[in-house]
Amino acid sequence: MNENNLKKNNIPLVGIVMGSESDLRVMNMAAQIMEQLQVPYEIKVVSAHRTPERMYEYSKNAEERGLEAIIAGAGGAAHLPGMISSMTLLPVIGVPVKLKELDGMDSLLSIVQMPGGVPVATVGINNAKNAGILAARILGTKHKVIRNNLDSYINDIKEKVIFDLEDKVIESWDVGNEKNR
């Protein structure tokens, strides 16, 4: 695979899946991170409850299709990440999706409480952005271009935080210390 043009190879490295189309409002953040970091990805609805055969096929064929990590988002009972993890050796990152009931705690606990031997890395409720960053970190151990893109992204975040903090410190010092002028 040409390291410099991963996206031009048209082979997704990350699968972003969700239990229903309504989860796209959250899972879109993972896709945005993939775009920013130039990581080839695919995004699909694969329900553990409504389309279990589709989930099975997706999980079983993921590695041979070239995927290297899967981000799976689900709300409520949230079985999707764990079920996918049980059928593949690829790393699976679970995103608990907040529904109206229980503030997403049901999803979080369903994803994080997996039995031994069926690991799912779990991010915070609705935090598909961190799932995307974690997937890029995993792929960055193999793909230098992804690692470099991630390094630039993280450095940009650091610079923005430092810049924003400096502005706020100066503004608050000026306001509180006007008599010192």
Residue 13: burial class (beta carbons within 10 Å; 0-12, 13-18, 19+): buried
Is 20 annotated in some ligand binding site? Answer: yes
Q: What region, left, alpha or beta, does residue 87 occupy, with left being phi > 0 and alpha being psi -120 to 50 degrees?
A: alpha
Residue in this structure with the two tokens 């793909």, named with its chain if needed:
143
Is 50 annotated in some ligand binding site? Answer: yes
Residue 71 · residue 128 · CB < 8 Å: yes
Instruction: Identify the CA nearest to 27 among candidates 88, 80, 100.
Output: 80
Feature table: binding site = 20, 23, 50
Residues that constitute the known binding site for substrate: 20, 23, 50
